[in-house]
Amino acid sequence: MSNKKYNYNEEIQRRRTFAIISHPDAGKTTLTEKFLLYGGAIREAGSVKSRRSNKHAVSDWMEIEKQRGISVTSSVLQFNYQNHCINILDTPGHQDFSEDTYRTLIAADSAVMVIDSNKGVEAQTKKLFQVCKMRGIPIFTFINKMDRLGRDPFDLIDDLEEALGIRSYPVDWPIGNGKDFRGVYNRLEKRIELFNEGNHGQSMANIVTGDVTDEAFRLLLGSDLHDKLLEDIELLDMAGDDFDLHKIMSGELTPVYFGSALTNFGVEPFLQSFLSITPPPMARKSNLGFIDPEDKNFTGFIFKIQANMDPNHRDRIAFLRICSGQYEKGMTVNHVNMGKKVKLAQPQQFMAQDRVIVESAYSGDIIGLHDPGIFNIGDTLTFDNIPLEYEGIPQFAPEFFMKISTINAMKRKQFLKGLNQLAQEGTIQVYRRPFAGTEELIVGVVGVLQFEVLEYRLTHEYGVEINTQRMPYRFIRWANDDFDMSKLNLTMDSLVGHDKDDRSVIFFQ
């Protein structure tokens, strides 16, 4: 790692904060691991799919993630690569956890969209893409699993443009596929990049580069593969879109890359190209207008809360995206939503669950704040007592509901604490019946797999065993504050309740 010293503006300009999104099993978490490998943050990558060892993905830190081999919560990872300081937000691919992904995308300046070369654009990819598009952030596409026999690259490009309604520019183009996947041609650099397989993708791939017209590459590839590459390049140059940085920055054009995260083929060329194109921290919209990231006054917002990242201490971490200014050790900030001063004692940065105490951090960085229960998702922190608030983070209406109670009445305190903390994370919403106590509550979630995670976490993190009963309701609506609920004539397929803020809600089948 370089020991070079940077000034304030240089520190901000070298930061890159992005989210990685995909449909489940497209290889998103494996790609994240390989970025860490090339950044020197880990020495050996443990693929999610690997059965060669008992390694688990660095970003899958929660015990249930290790057992299931899926990501169920967003991970925050920071590392340095060359002259860049990178903040990766690795998101859950499973649709049942898309709410966490939506919130995480609010904190990102750009997104990397991972697509399976055999399947093309899938349902969850479309949903997450729409969120990126609404935010107007740059979207980069990595078509993964080129080491397996998949669809024709031109078909994949057509599918991408048609399914997502976005134009594309293939920055690199695959040379062969499946077992014959040999490398890529970089259209911007006008050079060929051939790969030599490493240790089952656990170490960095070796790359041989040169001019595509070099006779040595015809000999290496064989005349058929070399001729096809030249034909593909000519067709792309004639019929494809031009490289347009303005359209990329506005999310209208997606740069496309091909590779294999499993074998590392194409990973470092993609990382280098991506970092050269994707923007540093951008201005953020607030109620006082756009806030310049190079403004030296400290501001930021809470986009995620996570309890029990360290099971030994039962701690609670609020994740803050710094939008302007610099965090300095021991600084005191204004908690806008509470109207109070808060000292940021020992903020942390992360490599999944591993953490280090932060001495300083800049616009674009993600830091974790110890939360004694004073932070909520969407809260704004500022350098001074100014009424600044960043754009709100949406809360999604649950679609699945379940009655929940503790088996052991002596564990009710832990039961309520667990539900309260998990609700503050935004993964569940808790309701109660009118005039009822806390013996039996109603939990609402966006996806049914969240029920399984809830039960697992209550058992393993809070020591509480629970009774559950699924409810038939699929919709929930909030009543206006001035509405008299006593005048409501409910049918047999509806139910009245109250949320955590004591607002009246109605459940419908």
CATH of the domain at 472: 3.30.70.3280
Same domain membership, residue 298 and residue 155 = no
- Mean local confidence (pLDDT), 90-99: 60
| pLDDT score of 203 more than 70 | no
Task: Look at residue 307 and tell me if it is in a domain.
Answer: yes
Q: Examine the fold and report which residue of 247, 277, 307 is the final residue of a domain before the chain moves on.
A: 277
Residue 72 binned pLDDT confidence (cut-offs 50, 70, 90): very low
* C-alpha to C-alpha distance for 123 and 133, rounded to whole angstroms: 16
Of 356 and 443, more confident: 443
Q: For residue 288, give the CATH number of its domain.
A: 2.40.30.10
Phi, psi dihedrals of residue 190, rounded to the nearest 5°: 55, 50
Lowest mean pLDDT among 5-19, 87-101, 480-494: 87-101
- Residue among 15, 16, 164, 22 nearest 91 (CA): 22
In the block, which residue shows the tokens 């050790």? 329
Same domain membership, residue 150 and residue 51 = yes
3-state secondary structure of 222: coil
Give the model's pLDDT for residue 470.
Answer: 95
* C-alpha to C-alpha distance for 148 and 299, rounded to whole angstroms: 46
Task: Look at residue 502 and tell me if it is in a domain.
Answer: yes
Q: Examine the fold and report which residue of 252, 277, 302 is the final residue of a domain before the chain moves on.
A: 277
Task: Look at residue 89 and tell me if it is in a domain.
Answer: no
Of 213 and 266, more confident: 266
Lowest mean pLDDT among 303-307, 379-383, 484-488, 502-506: 484-488
Domain that holds residue 319: 284-382
Task: Look at residue 390 and tell me if it is in a domain.
Answer: no
- Counting Cα atoms < 13 Å in the Cβ hemisphere of 191 gives 8
Same domain membership, residue 62 and residue 168 = yes
Same domain membership, residue 139 and residue 255 = yes
Task: Look at residue 83 and tell me if it is in a domain.
Answer: no
Q: For residue 273, give the CATH number of its domain.
A: 3.40.50.300
Instruction: Give the DSSP letter of residue 54.
Output: S
In the block, which residue shows the tokens 């489940």? 24
| pLDDT score of 73 more than 70 | no
Lowest mean pLDDT among 193-207, 222-236, 323-337, 458-472: 193-207
- Mean local confidence (pLDDT), 315-338: 93
Mean pLDDT, rounded, of the chain = 86
Instruction: Give the DSSP letter of residue 485.
Output: G
* C-alpha to C-alpha distance for 494 and 407, rounded to whole angstroms: 27
Give the model's pLDDT for residue 286.
Answer: 95
| pLDDT score of 495 more than 80 | yes
- Residue among 386, 318, 391, 331 nearest 361 (CA): 331
Give the model's pLDDT for residue 402.
Answer: 96
Same domain membership, residue 313 and residue 264 = no
- Mean local confidence (pLDDT), 490-495: 87
Same domain membership, residue 153 and residue 54 = yes
pLDDT digits (tens, 9 = 90+) for 223-267: 999 999 999 999 999 999 999 999 999 999 999 999 999 988 999
* C-alpha to C-alpha distance for 449 and 85, rounded to whole angstroms: 34
3-state secondary structure of 405: strand
| pLDDT score of 71 more than 50 | no
Same domain membership, residue 496 and residue 422 = yes
Same domain membership, residue 160 and residue 105 = yes
Task: Look at residue 345 and tell me if it is in a domain.
Answer: yes
Q: In angstroms, how far is CA 445 from the centroid of its own chain?
A: 19
| pLDDT score of 507 more than 90 | yes
Give the model's pLDDT for residue 196.
Answer: 75
Q: In angstroms, how far is CA 124 from the centroid of its own chain?
A: 13
Please report, as a single letter, which amino acid is at residue 505: V
Structural domain count, the chain: 3
Of 465 and 66, more confident: 465
| pLDDT score of 321 more than 70 | yes
Tell me the β-bridge partners of 155.
none
| pLDDT score of 97 more than 60 | no
Strands (E) located in 312-424: 316-324, 326-328, 332-335, 340-343, 348-351, 354-357, 360-362, 366-370, 380-382, 400-406
| pLDDT score of 54 more than 60 | no
Burial (0-12, 13-18, 19+ Cβ within 10 Å), 331: middle
Give the model's pLDDT for residue 44.
Answer: 53
Task: Look at residue 144 and tell me if it is in a domain.
Answer: yes
Tell me the β-bridge partners of 256.
141, 170
Same domain membership, residue 177 and residue 61 = yes
| pLDDT score of 310 more than 70 | no
- Counting Cα atoms < 13 Å in the Cβ hemisphere of 258 gives 34
| pLDDT score of 87 more than 50 | yes
pLDDT digits (tens, 9 = 90+) for 14-53: 999 999 988 878 888 889 889 988 888 765 544 433 334 4
Give the model's pLDDT for residue 403.
Answer: 96
Same domain membership, residue 288 and residue 188 = no
Q: Examine the fold and report which residue of 238, 256, 277 is the final residue of a domain before the chain moves on.
A: 277
Q: Is 161 left (phi over 0), alpha (psi -120 to 50) or beta?
A: alpha
Same domain membership, residue 328 and residue 446 = no
Residue 1 binned pLDDT confidence (cut-offs 50, 70, 90): very low
Give the model's pLDDT for residue 169.
Answer: 98
Same domain membership, residue 125 and residue 243 = yes
Task: Look at residue 7 and tell me if it is in a domain.
Answer: no
Q: Strands 360-362 and 354-357: what pairing?
A: unpaired
Lowest mean pLDDT among 276-285, 339-348, 485-494: 485-494
Helices 412-424, 449-462: inter-axial angle, 10-degree rounding? 130
| pLDDT score of 481 more than 90 | no
